[in-house]
Amino acid sequence: MGKDREKLVVIGNGMAGISAVEQILKLTTKFDITVIGSEPHPNYNRIMLSYVLEGSKTIDDIVLNDLGWYKDNGITLHMGRAVAKIDELNKEVITIDGLKVPFDKVIIATGSNSFILPIPGSNKEGVVGFRDIADCNQMLDAAKCYKKAAVIGGGLLGLEAAKGLVQLGMDVTVVHLMEDLMERQLDHQAASMLKAELERQGIKFKMGAQTVELLGDARVSGLRFADDTVLDAEFVVMAVGIKPNITVAKDSGLEVNRGIVVNDYMQTSMEGVYSVGECTEHRGTCYGLVAPLFEQGMILAKHISGVETVPYEGSIVSTKLKISGVDVFSTGEFIDGPEHTVIANKDDWKRTYKKIILKDNVMVGAVLFGDITDSAQLQKLIKLKTVMTDDLYASLMGTGCCGGEGKKGISVDTMSNDEIVCGCNGVTKGTIVDVITNQGLTTVDEIKACTGATRSCGGCKPVVEQILQYVLGDEFKTAAKQGICGCTTLSRDEIVAEIKDKGLQTTKEVMNVLGWSQTEGCSKCRPAINYYLGMIYPDTHEDEKQSRFVNERMNANIQKDGTYTVVPRMYGGVTTPEDLKKIADVSLKYDVKVVKVTGGQRLDLIGVKKEDLPKVWEELDMPSGYAYAKSLRTVKTCVGSQFCRFGTQDSMGMGAILERKFERLDFPAKFKLAVNGCPRNCAESCTKDIGIVGNDGGWEIFVGGNGGIKARLADSLCKVKTDEELIEICGAIMQFYRETGNYLERTSEWVERIGLDRIKAVVVDDIDGRKALMERIEFALKQVEDPWKKALRDKEQTGKLFNGLEMSNQL
């Protein structure tokens, strides 16, 4: 590509290097760009790994630039390759495996590595850092096999790792050398409040403890401390700090100290070679937080592109803790001394704390706990070295004449265009103003899709909204209406009404007629529209497989190694010896890695190759358990009155009836039931979408339970006396949820949004309405059948032979 264009090689495929590339692409087309990354992944948001660990996001969710982005921008990408050195004489970047890439300019963005304590046992199995996807995967795997974990380090990364492991069900103790958590960012008061809140969330702490040895044989079994006490642990996360990854620079003869030494334009000691991010040392400082790397990247991009720029003079760093339910912020100076004036407010009832530090009446630092609404404003004021005034004090501390109601937000009109609004993704005010002005964007979701602002932690959303209001003026209120995604301003109810009113039949027709801003839609709206069409027209809508998620297209759950898991249906958790033999035979024949008993009382065949999926299903000759689908997953049961001496109702029989009756049908999100034969609740009805508990007089029905990330106990809906009434009310609940639920909204959220009283009025009190709902779900059930059964039947009818790839494309 482009004989006359300069060759730019970027060493490192992380946030710093690719952020700089994004800025360069906006400024010039003079470079042919090659990116070499040591990880086998496209560019992803490393600071979101804590959300992946706790389960609220997937690896796909945190990818910043997918493979298509590199292709669209003409970037050559080498993943899973490490660079050995930069050959200055021959102008080549050389990888460890021998690849030679010619260059005119180089950007080193190799980031940092976890600092592993040099103590006996630190190389044992079960000891990891927390820096990348590989570390995250090790932690996820460990949580499946082990119970006790220790996290060494009570800083930002350590606490995020600890919370993630607690969410995964581990017994976690944070071991910290100091007496205060996050002592490099928080004062004693905020640290104490943070510790108390995290203890409420299930994390244990051992403070003031120096780890001197990791115990165990091949695998770690515990920690020994300087006072000779011991803590049992089967898994240890080292989160005591990071060290710049300077190996390539050092081996290439560049000037290095703690990091790669650069000047104010991010140039290293080698001609044409730049450095950016955590591997970089500027004026004696290495930054381990995300905002400075974006500030560095913007200076670098302008300089390398030949655009005039101010020099980089360092960054005022700020910190936010990314743990659900804990809001902590710190910027600038946070420990007050005799030379400081301190403004502080602590509210024990609301568990909030705010401290602003002044030096000669100039704002130099702040700490927030519990309420970080003012974080963006404080960061800006401290960066600008703002003098405190009575009006500013009243605004920040909520003591104005309006009792705080007139409190001002950040003044976006005084922000410079180069000021970073989204620290996670390096998006500036100027970029946001530009897309609003030149591309006509009018919503936060549209800005998120276009620029990346707010797509990670979401902390910058208030500022983005203020910029929208600032640019649009009076048009903001009408433009601010949010739709189901950034492609439309229409809500779920409006889309459904338009489909019915206009008789729209396909996803493309919906997007075209209703004026989608992106003609192909996105991964959020396409599956939703496909579901709404199927719900409205169960007999005529042809399911659009291209609008389904990959697991639903393949009828199996894809795993991180590219193989699949297959889950056959076991009605009510009950199976036969004949079906067990089939499962065993198929597992042996197709080299299934593991057969696991699932939480829903089924068997999961883990490790099936994609090409074997059709044969596996054919030889099992069992219905799909829909472990991959937005549909009825399982009906969990206890043994009930058939076998249990406490059982009052036939829970196994009822569970099988409900599962057979309502399987195959699409829902807004996955759907689970449980049936207990008595109130002892062995099948855990309290955490299911519909939970059923038997008693001497009949059944009690519960709704809206969730045992996942957002745990919620189910609400008691009603009691019934007969099996027929139970089945009818369950069917009515399902259909009412199908017709009113937002796509991907679990019943736990749906119940809180719709209200239990309304649900009861519709499916319990209104008998005619209930019967109408049941008729509609019965009609929908008649239109569907198991996808593999259908595919195999079609094969028999047509005589067509097809291989696994053809079949996966059909399905």
Residues of the binding site for [4Fe-4S] cluster: 638, 644, 678, 682
Cα 375 to Cα 728: distance, rounded to the nearest angstrom: 52
For residue 650, how many other CB atoms are within 10 A of its CB? 19
Encoded tokens for 669: 């999100």
- Single out the residue of 343, 390, 404, 386 nearest to residue 368, CA to CA: 343
Cα distance between residue 13 and residue 615, in whole Å? 39
Q: Which two tokens stand for residue 155?
A: 């800083």
Task: Report the SS3 class of residue 464.
Answer: helix
HSE-up of residue 759 (Cα within 13 Å, Cβ side): 31
Q: What is the 3-state secondary structure (H, E, C) of 268-321?
A: CCCCCEEECCCCEEECCECCCCHHHHHHHHHHHHHHHHCCCCCCCCCCCCEEEC
Binding residues: 638, 644, 678, 682
Q: How far is CA 649 from the centre of its chain?
A: 41
Q: Residue 799's CB: how many other CB atoms inside 10 A?
A: 6
- Per residue in 36-48, is it b (16+ CB within 10 Å) or e — as a string? bbbbebbbbbbbb
Residue 794's CB is within 10 A of a number of other CB atoms, namely 12
Contact 679/719 with Cβ under 8 angstroms?
no
Give CA–CA dist 573/692, Å, rounded.
15
CB atoms within 10 A of CB 401: 8
What DSSP character marks residue 414? Answer: G
3-class state of residue 20 by DSSP: helix
Burial of 248 (0-12, 13-18, 19+ CB in 10 A): buried
Which one-letter amino acid corresponds to residue 26? K
Chain-centre distance for alpha carbon 803: 35
Side chain identity, residue 162: A
Binding-site residues for siroheme: 682
Report which residue type is found at 102.
Answer: P
Please name which of 304, 394, 321 lies closest in space to residue 356, comparing C-alpha atoms. 394
- Measured in residues, the chain has a length of 811
* Distance (Å, whole) CA 26 – CA 631: 44
Using CA atoms, how far residue 155 sits from 175, 204, 782, in Å, is: 10, 14, 57
> What's the CA gap between 127 and 115, in Å, rounded?
12
Angle between helix axes 723-740 and 651-662 (nearest 10 degrees) is 40
Using the CB atoms, write b or e for 207-241: b if 16+ within 10 Å.
eebebebbbbeeebbbbbbeeeeebebbbbbbbbb
Q: Are strands 235-238 and 230-232 parallel, antiparallel or unpaired?
A: unpaired
Element (H, E) at 577: helix 577-589
Q: Which two tokens stand for residue 223?
A: 């920690």
Pairing type for strands 92-95 and 100-102 reads antiparallel
* 385-to-237, 361, 672 alpha-carbon distances in Å: 39, 10, 55
Cα–Cα–Cα angle for 208, 209, 212, nearest 5°? 150
Q: Which of 158, 167, 150 is nearest to 216 (CA)?
A: 150
CA distances from 675 to 569, 638, 689, 704 (A): 17, 7, 11, 15
